[in-house]
Structure 1
Amino acid sequence: MASAIVAVGLLAGCSSDPLAAQYRSGDSKQYIAGDGTVTEISEANRGAAIDFTGTTQDGQTVTAEQYRGQVLVLNFWYAGCAPCRAEAPALETLNSKYTGNGATFLGVNVRDQAQTAIAFDTSFGLTYSSVIDTDGAVQLALSGQVAPNAVPTTLVIDKQGRVAARILGQATAPDILDTLIGDAVAETS
């Protein structure tokens, strides 16, 4: 019996899961970084529409329903996340491009209080709002869907409220995110 427990323990330590390896590294960076993997979901294979309610850093209530009929870009982030800081200017550039052109950006701050999110917006010139999701309500709304397993993660939600694409980790190639958003905007359904 003892040898079986040791064998299970050894096998568990041999995991090739990169997220688990980051966790076990003990480097204290305080987040699990994605690797930039892009997942696209064909219209026929998309799950049900997501449903969430949240409060922005300015105290406004937002719901998933408000965004139906347009593409919603959800970016999961927090202020102390270095990749989040690195991608912020590119996200704002795309936000400016798509505002009034079929897509809306909404940040989902997973860790900070409102004042920290406001300071981040000011520092990086962000003009779109963020839900303060320290209770995980928006993240929970995505369970069973293509979840934001790392910070940052960016999701493209189609006009019907379904997850169309995910970038797991920093959106290092803004052209890819631009294409994902543009494709979702161009969909007729």
Structure 2
Amino acid sequence: MNTRNPSLSTESEPGRRTFLIGAASAALLLTGCAAQDPLAAQAKAGDNKNYIAGDGSVSEYAPENRGEPVQLGGQLYDGTSINSADWSEKVVVLNFWYASCAPCRVEAPDLEALHQDFKDQDVLFYGVNVRDTTPTAAAFERNFGITYPSFDGADGSILFALTEHVPPQAVPTTLVLDKQTRVASRILGVAEKSTLKALISSTLDESAS
């Protein structure tokens, strides 16, 4: 069921819907190419910002417009090696974060709550920590009660594999992958709980239809 408010959405190109959360300006709507994202433009500016603020936008992609499955591999902080080839027939949520990122702290409890809501419905949650050491990441997870695992992504390999979808330093960013490991939707900035829940549910529903 579509739970989103149609007044917050606008059709851009075929098969893709982009909408803004709250009072974010419609001028920040994303286009169909990641290189044209406002966040990507900030990242390419070379001003060495530690944090590039999300614009509050959410993009959904119709199944026929999702392109190729993502291909990535990496190691979790507990030493487990994970490859996206293992995610077949699962919906996967990837959240890019680091401990000193203020918006990451805001969304952390909601991400854990959604993980609990969906963990018995073929939905996997993974964090991708883009800069922290193991002790720093572990302290964050303890403080916020995070029980799903995170990749140690400080070497940039996972960001590189997903550069089309996640502009460099655009943290937090959250991706929802469909059961063919294609990007079904993306949130730039804080993942508002009801919005992310709707995106996950929508991806599950299409898989069941």
TM-score above 0.5, yes or no: yes
- SS of the residue aligned with 2:95? strand
Amino acid at match of 2:124: T
The structural deviation recorded for 1:169 is 0.7
Separation in structure 1 between the aligned mates of residue 75 and residue 136 of structure 2, nearest angstrom: 15
The structural deviation recorded for 1:118 is 1.0
Separation in structure 2 between the aligned mates of residue 51 and residue 83 of structure 1, nearest angstrom: 27
TM-score by length of 2: 0.75
Say if 2:122 is the partner of 1:77: no
Q: Partner residue of 2:206?
A: 187
Residue 174 (structure 1) aligned to one of 161, 173, 193 = 193
TM-score by length of 1: 0.82
Amino acid at match of 2:125: F
Separation in structure 2 between the aligned mates of residue 18 and residue 146 of structure 1, nearest angstrom: 11
Unaligned runs of 5+ residues in structure 1 are 1-16
Structure ID, larger Rg: 1
CA contact (8 A) 2:99 2:132 kept: yes
Higher fraction of helix: 1
Runs of 4 or more, structure 1, over 4 Å off, are 17-24
98-107 or 147-156: bigger deviation: 147-156
- SS of the residue aligned with 2:131? coil
The 3 A distance-change label for structure 1 pair 95 and 148 is farther
The structural deviation recorded for 1:38 is 0.1
Unaligned runs of 5+ residues in structure 2 are 1-37
The structural deviation recorded for 1:21 is 6.3
Amino acid at match of 1:151: V
Q: Identity over the aligned pairs, expressed in percent?
A: 46
Aligned residues: 169
